[in-house]
């Protein structure tokens, strides 16, 4: 029965995984893509004209294991972050992103601002008693792997959605970084630009990517990349 349950859980996890492309793009690319995408896709209704601000606090250990797994392209890897949108701390999410041979999945759990600050400040006893499995898992890895709040990542996101294939295309820019994790919930905390006008396009889909979207996101001289916003920000701190 345990073996069967494990197989079922594995199959459910695979079914929930999504394909992903990433391209590092410049400002001219972004203007072109924005114009193309608006002709076919819908702007994300959760944003203002599809646009919103994202702030994330990423976790890593003293040996930078999460960063190095990304740099070296380890096929099976994971990372934890705490995230909120539009500088609104009334809804904060703990997220775990996992990659398995190029497919990605994300788990999330709602945190209060008090819980988020407790994690950052090392007050973890309550996590062990939490009914949320994701909070318990982070607690275990804070202890066993030495994970700690490492880097704040801010950026502006424009998102577009397309029903067939459950496609989502995002343009992320104005990427900024900060090292003082204790200031994570302060909208006015000091942040610095990460890179020289760097932007990233991400394309995510389920079982298939429609040809019309595939054609829209093609850029001459651009190839898919494993570059991430966390990786960019760690280069500057």
Q: pLDDT (tens digit, 9 = 90+) per residue, 16-43?
A: 789 999 988 989 999 999 999 999 999 9
Q: Would you say residue 201 lies in a domain?
A: yes
Q: What is the distance between the alpha carbons of residues 93 and 231, in angstroms, rounded to a whole number?
A: 21
- State the CATH number of the domain containing residue 97: 3.20.100.30
Q: Would you say residue 11 lies in a domain?
A: no
Q: Is residue 41 within 8 Å of residue 161, measured between CB atoms?
A: yes
Locate 142 and state its tokens: 């804070």
Q: What is the pLDDT of residues 173-190, one digit of tens each?
A: 999 998 766 789 998 888
Q: What is the pLDDT of residues 126-136, one digit of tens each?
A: 999 999 999 99
Q: Would you say residue 2 lies in a domain?
A: no
Q: What is the distance between the alpha carbons of residues 164 and 84, in angstroms, rounded to a whole number?
A: 28
CB atoms within 10 A of CB 96: 18
What is residue 69's three-state secondary structure?
A: helix
Q: What is the pLDDT of residues 180-237, one digit of tens each?
A: 667 899 988 889 998 777 899 999 999 999 999 999 999 877 666 667 899 888 876 5
Element (H, E) at 173: strand 167-178
Q: Would you say residue 5 lies in a domain?
A: no
What is residue 85's three-state secondary structure?
A: strand
Q: Would you say residue 54 lies in a domain?
A: yes
Q: Which residue has the tokens 């703990």?
A: 94
Number of domains in the chain: 1
Q: Would you say residue 26 lies in a domain?
A: yes
What pLDDT is recorded for position 223?
Answer: 62
Range of the domain at 229: 20-235
- In sequence order, the 6+-apart residues with CB closer than 8 A to the CB of 101 are 75, 76
Residue closest to 60 by CA, chosen among 174, 172, 179, 155: 179
Predicted model pTM: 0.89
């Amino acid at each position: 029965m345990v073996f069967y349950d494990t197989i079922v859980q594995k199959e459910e996890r695979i079914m929930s995984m999504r394909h992903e492309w990433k391209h590092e793009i410049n400002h001219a690319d972004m203007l072109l893509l924005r114009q193309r995408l608006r002709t076919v896709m819908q702007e994300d209704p959760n944003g203002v004209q599809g646009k919103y601000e994202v702030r994330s606090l990423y976790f890593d250990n003293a040996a930078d294991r999460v960063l190095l797994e990304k740099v070296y392209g380890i096929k099976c890897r994971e990372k934890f972050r705490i995230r909120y949108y539009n500088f609104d701390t009334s809804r904060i999410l703990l997220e775990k992103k996992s990659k398995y041979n190029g497919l990605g999945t994300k788990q999330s759990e709602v945190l209060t601002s008090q819980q988020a600050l407790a994690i950052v400040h090392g007050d973890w006893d309550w996590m062990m008693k939490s009914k949320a499995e994701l909070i318990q898992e982070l607690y275990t890895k804070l202890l066993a792997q030495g994970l700690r709040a490492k880097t704040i990542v801010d950026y502006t996101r424009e998102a577009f959605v397309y029903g067939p294939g459950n496609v989502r295309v995002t343009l992320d820019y104005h990427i900024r970084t900060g090292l003082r994790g204790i200031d994570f919930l302060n909208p006015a905390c000091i942040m610095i630009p990460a890179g020289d006008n760097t932007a990233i396009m991400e394309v995510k889909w389920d079982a298939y990517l429609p040809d019309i979207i595939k054609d829209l996101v093609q850029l001459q001289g651009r190839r898919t990349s494993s570059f991430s916003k966390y990786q960019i920000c760690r280069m500057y701190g």
